Chain A
Amino acid sequence: MIKRIFDFILISILGLMPLLWFPGKTMLFGHDAGYPFDPIIYFLDRFSVWTQRLGMGHDQSSFLLGALPIHGLQAFLAWVGFSLKTAQLIDFIFWFSLPGFSMYFFVYKLWPSKKYLPLIAAVIYMINFYLLQAWFVAEQTKITTYVALPIIAYFSLFFFLKKISFMKSIIGTGLTLGILNGGGSFPLYGGLIIYFGMMALYINYINPGLNTLKRTMSYFIGVGIIYVLVSAYWLFPYIYYILGSFSKDLAQAGGVGGALQWSTYLAKGSTFINLFRGQGIPEWYLNPYHAYAANYLTNPVLIFLSSLFPILAYCSLFFVKLKQEKFYIYLFVLISLISLIFAAGPGSQLGIIYEYMILHVPGFAIFRSNFYKFGYLIWFTYAILIAFSLDAIFSKIEDFFNRKQIKIKLFSFVLPVIFIAGYVLYHYPFLNGSFMDYSSEPGKELTTRVTVPQYVLDFGKWSDQQSSTKRFLVVPEVNDVGYVAYQWGFWSLAPINSLLTKTSFIQNSFLVSETDRVIMKQMYNALLSGNIQSFIDFTEVYAIDGIVVHEDFDWKNLSWGTTDPARYEKVLDNNPNFKLTKTFGKWKVYDIVGRAKSLRITASPKLNFLQGDLKNVVSFPKFDSNSPLFMADLELSKSSYFANEATDLFIAPGCIKCDFKKEDLGFEYYNPKVLPGSVLYPLIIYREKQIKKKSTDFESLLNFYMTTSDRRLVESKWMIDSKQKLDFLQKAISAHYNSLLELKDFVGSNWGVSTNDENRLSRMVNGHLLQQVNFIDAIFENPLLDTVYRDVLILSYDEILKIREIIEKKMWVTNNENDIRYILDLPKAGSFDVYVRRESLSQPAADFSDSVISFANSDQELRPISENAGWLYFGKLNTQETELKLAFKDATLKNLVENVTPEFPSGSQGITNEKNVFSMNAASINNCFTFTIKNLEIDTKYLVSFGYRDATDNRDLGFFISGENTMPPKLRIRQSLLLKSREWANYNEVVTPLESSMKLNFCNNFISISQKERVGQREDLQLLSPGQPVLDVQDISVYKMSNPALVLYQSTTNSEKKNYVLDFEKISPEEYSLNVAASNSPVTLVMRETYGKYWQLCDENKKCLSFDDKNHFIANGFANGWYFKKGIEGKLTLYYNPQKMYIIGVYVSITSFIFILGGICWKKFIKK
């Protein structure tokens, strides 16, 4: 008994370790830490499925809605009156000790007579690198599952060993899982699932029979029922989420392929040997500035000590003697090995198992962070196995001393203390909390130990007292890397407000969609540039009522730095539209003057329809950003319906390939493995036939013909390169020719796809054909080919040319700045006004009058007629066709090389210029001529292009860009040699200058001093007549790149700007009631909360629209919109329906708890 008390005291003392972690006033915040600044508000917010904490509102059924027990404890400590820091420390001590106690309980139940085992197992389970990684962000959800595992192991194992009753085991397991539920995060159950599966298999293997199988089934069914009943409060809305959004979220994360990619990335260090040694934590290998990893990875002593983990763990197999012990030890060894496969993920030698499950087992993709989701099972088994071995060793030592009659007082206390002291020292980061300083990269020093300024907490309290419909914009904006960082050390991807207050804050963080981030960036720009009207318009779109300036934002940082908050303050202070209302230290709150009423819910007779990029139309004079907007690209299926109902149509096509990036649409050379002539080759042909049978639409058939043709050529090339199956080469080359004939017939038929698809597919075919030509070039001269083979290749080449001829007519791609191309896929035919934004032209200030819009297959041309608020009007386009190809010629384009005199830094010998064709002969080898372009706009893209040809078989022309005053190193020329081309070839390069000038360098090859003498021996040069050019360069041009914003506008109804919503009340985060003025004409109601399919609109008679009603759409790219063709009136209610499921779930959970606890009490006390 004294030993047990001693163990208990020791575990409790170790549990106080968090007291060592936070010096001064520091607390744990930032990164992924979910500890709230105001635990009570945060806890209460968890009773709603819809929350305002995350920007414009969010469904949190997938965001740890089940974490009520965790946040309940935090809130309780705050409610009792502890300061934030004290509450955090008590909370951490509780969760730090709990794994130790749960493990102690389990192993004590297994081996009550073992003297050392329970304490050692408890300590190992409390202190290890897996848990340390969780503690750097106090990942309490993970810790709950970790605590639950030994308790669940007890209830399950003891039931199967018939030591406890069925009811006790299922209630025990169900309640443990229900309370220590991992915050309702299913991925954390990965380790538990493996445990359950292995245990059931093991038990059924050892004791086969129907009876064991029945017990297994009944146990899992029983546990499942209790778990569902107890967890109903979060499980019911979660099911709603799974049914409604899981697949969408998975797709956004890149689908199962993305999940696998992520696993592969994480598994970098999770090899078997590292996991065996208690390491393999992804951060150790991915973060070169990790706080302590380098020591453990390089220090020989620490490496040696780490190898003791597997030795001690599996030595238990030597020490185990008794039947019962063997039963447990074999099970735990087996579990440890199986969990290793899953924790190692796709990178290990058995990674295919994990990979297969990710790709083929539905839902398994949620376990994509393999180490974190399965790793705790390794430590569960290790704690037991190592403790078992040490117990045996310590007992032997004790026996030895007893036999020698050497009496050491308190012997049984000394040994474990020595072990624990050594063990804790090995895990030294636990002793000082240094593991929270997770990056020491210069300029990016990061820690989760921060001192929170009092004004931040004061602001949180103040904002919670504001009207629940108030919404604030946070400035400065977050930069493109998305990190939210403050000068006092807070750093995270999530905005600070999400843990601070329940009020809605808008910030362009990664919690909002990419589209929204783009629009928000424009809103920030509008405010910064003093374009207040535009900014006010944006605030109306997002229903923003005020602005909060965070002066303490870490805006100067090189990595996540952003705009100086003082610049925003200057604009806000000097504009009558804003009024400073409150100051909290370095946080200032401004109100938008005149915004008496929240614009969160509005109803308007207008309905805009947009096809294309929103950023291209926001400044369009006829585009009212406050009006409801349907964006066709977000909901393609509803596009034609809303195009017919909209009052204003905006078509903003994006120009095609205006970035001039080289398209990589071809394919890579690969090993086809099975070649013609192989006995297995018929299988390949059979498989291809099957694929063709399954390809029913044009695109898949085209893909089939294209890839089959590619394969035939790859087979031929592979046969030649590897000199395999050459007897069948003729057959292979002929098969390729035949495949081209089939492809030609197919592309010559009616495609029956949209113009956009036609363009995309023909570009794909073009890329593949160019690659095929590359391969034909590569093999044509090969001596293995005789004339017959070459004849077939010649025919194939001709077929390729014929196919290209067909597809070139279908391709519509921007090839040069003078001919920018667009494809219009209009939602309906009719008359459209055509506009181009002047600011988007290459030189906005230049004369634009010669700009022209022309159409393919038509002589019609549109020229600028007038200008309205920065938009050039090109007249009307009347069209009966919905698909059009058009080209735009920007008259403001100016070649910046014009009027620039070339310079010859090493003299002009051997360089001639005739009608802008520069020729360089052998006398100018190693020399360059340059053009200096001045007055460039910084951070603006320029297109540099020219034509060139070589007269030798060498790569002769070197081209590079340097600073105006920098002398480029000579060897740079060698690096810059362009591809050899005997014919005139075009070269394009997009440049974003960092200075206002740049120098274009054209050089005639590079010969090093050691090669100089050998130049004269070059045969290719000797063939040239004296003075004959080695290379020519022509048409050198530099254009400021433009991406002209083209908008086609059609107004169908002249509707006034009016708000039909008389007033509204926010009853709760998930319910609004509103009064709407009567209207008989079409009205669109917009609620500016993030779009959710399950937001339901009901009238006074509780008659509601269905979830799939086509009139419910994504308004303005993020909000909820409802279109009423026949108008609306009276009282309406908006309700987020999953809340109903939540309430039902809460009733079920509470009733179940009462029943279970009542039943236990009845059995324990009354029945006796």
Chain B
Amino acid sequence: MLEKIYKKITKISLGFSRFFKEHLAQIVFLVFAFQILSFIGALPYFNLIAKYQFYIASLLWILANFLFRQYINTKIILKLALLVFILDVPIIILDFESLSSVSGFVAFVLLFTYVCRKIFVERNELKNIG
């Protein structure tokens, strides 16, 4: 039993370390982008942008989509978006307004990503309909 758990943990940790080793450049790039964007938020004029953190999150998400395309599957994105709507039901019932507002934005970003990626990928297929 313990050995099984040990093996599982080892497998997961190896998986993680492999992922980090293979995508170190991308991860560093994302972290660097996050740092830069956070720093920019303190600059004059940028500091006037309300809800700036959402723009950082959106930009990082866009970058992540480019960098980890093979992991961020469109189907998963869509399923996640729909899941957000289901998870939102108790949040709205319990009147957690700010949380539901954020989850709505998350659903928006996921759906937008999905449809943009689909259009981008299937562009040739969609040509000359009519």
Contacts and interface: CB of A to CB of B under 8 A. Distances in A.
Interface string B34-62: 00000000111001011100110000000
A318 B78 CA distance: 8
Interface in A255-306: 271-276, 300, 303-304
B43 A680 contact: yes
Interface string B95-127: 000001111110110011011101100110111
A311 B86 contact: yes
B130 A349 contact: no
Contacts of B104: 271-276
A276 B125 CA distance: 29
Contacts of B100: 271, 273
A337 interface: yes
A333 B130 CA distance: 19
Interface residues of A, number: 45
A722 interface: no
Contact of A303 (B42, B93, B107, B115): B93
A684 B47 CA distance: 14
A318 B111 CA distance: 12
A193 interface: no
B119 A205 contact: yes
A694 interface: no
B45 to A, nearest CB: 10
Given A351-B51, A352-B51, 11 more contacts: A162-B130, A272-B104, A310-B82, A314-B81, A326-B118, A326-B125, A349-B54, A349-B101, A349-B102, A673-B42, A680-B43
Interface of A is mostly: helix
B92 interface: yes
A141 interface: no
A323 B85 contact: no
Contacts of A334: 115-116, 119
A311 B42 contact: no
A206 B130 CA distance: 13
21 contacts: A161-B130, A162-B130, A205-B123, A272-B105, A272-B107, A273-B88, A273-B92, A274-B104, A303-B93, A307-B86, A307-B89, A310-B82, A310-B107, A314-B78, A314-B81, A317-B118, A318-B78, A334-B116, A349-B101, A352-B49, A352-B51
A134 interface: no
Nearest to B124: A206
A26 interface: no
Nearest to A309: B85
Interface in A659-713: 673-674, 680, 683-684, 687
Given A307-B85, A326-B122, A352-B50, A317 B115 contact: yes
Contacts of A167: none
B118 A330 contact: yes
B85 A311 contact: yes
Interface in A321-355: 323-324, 326-327, 330, 333-334, 337, 340, 348-352, 355
B129 interface: yes
A315 interface: yes
B70 interface: no
Contact of B126 (A206, A303, A352): A206
A673 B85 contact: no
A348 B103 CA distance: 12
Nearest to B100: A273
B126 A323 contact: yes
A684 B44 contact: yes
Nearest to B93: A300
Contact of A273 (B42, B101, B116): B101
B85 A276 contact: yes
Q: Which of A162, A327, A351 has the most CB of B within 10 A?
A: A327
A340 to B, nearest CB: 7
A163 interface: yes
Given A276-B107, A317-B78, A683-B44, A206 B50 contact: no
A734 to B, nearest CB: 23
Given A311-B86, A317-B115, A330-B119, A323 B125 contact: yes
A912 interface: no
B121 to A, nearest CB: 11
Contact of B101 (A272, A310, A327): A272
B101 A271 contact: yes
B118 A340 contact: no
A207 interface: yes
Given A276-B104, A311-B82, A311-B86, A330 B115 contact: yes
Contacts of A271: 100-101, 104
Given A207-B128, A307-B86, A349 B51 contact: yes
Given A317-B114, A337-B108, A349-B105, A304 B125 contact: no
Contact of A310 (B55, B85, B116): B85
Nearest to B98: A271
A314 B78 CA distance: 8
A300 B116 CA distance: 34
Contacts of A161: 129-130
A137 B86 CA distance: 34
Contacts of B86: 307, 311
A330 to B, nearest CB: 5
A326 B126 contact: yes
A351 B50 contact: yes
A622 B127 CA distance: 82
Contacts of B88: 273, 307
Interface string A154-193: 0000001111000000000000000000000000000000
Contacts of A272: 101, 104-105, 107-108
Contacts of B50: 351-352, 355
A674 B129 contact: no
Contact of A206 (B47, B85, B102, B123): B123
A333 B82 contact: no
Contacts of A303: 89, 92-93
Given A272-B104, A333-B111, A304 B89 contact: yes
A484 to B, nearest CB: 36
Contacts of B118: 317, 326, 330
A351 B54 CA distance: 11
Nearest to B108: A272
Contacts of B78: 314, 317-318
Instruction: Give the residue among A273, A311, A333 with the most B Cβ atoms within 10 A.
Output: A273
Contacts of A683: 44
A273 B110 CA distance: 13
Nearest to B112: A337
A333 to B, nearest CB: 5
A343 B42 CA distance: 29
A84 B114 CA distance: 52
Contacts of A315: 82
Contacts of B82: 310-311, 314-315
A323 B129 contact: yes
A272 B51 CA distance: 14
Contacts of A673: 42-44, 47
Contact of A333 (B47, B55, B115): B115
A1018 B50 CA distance: 48
Contacts of A684: 44
A334 B127 CA distance: 17
Nearest to A336: B111
Interface in B5-30: none
B98 to A, nearest CB: 10
Nearest to A334: B115
B130 A163 contact: yes
A348 B85 CA distance: 17
Contacts of A318: 78
B48 to A, nearest CB: 9
Contacts of B103: 273
A207 B127 contact: yes
B55 to A, nearest CB: 8
A683 B47 CA distance: 15
Contacts of B119: 202, 205-206, 330, 334
B91 to A, nearest CB: 9
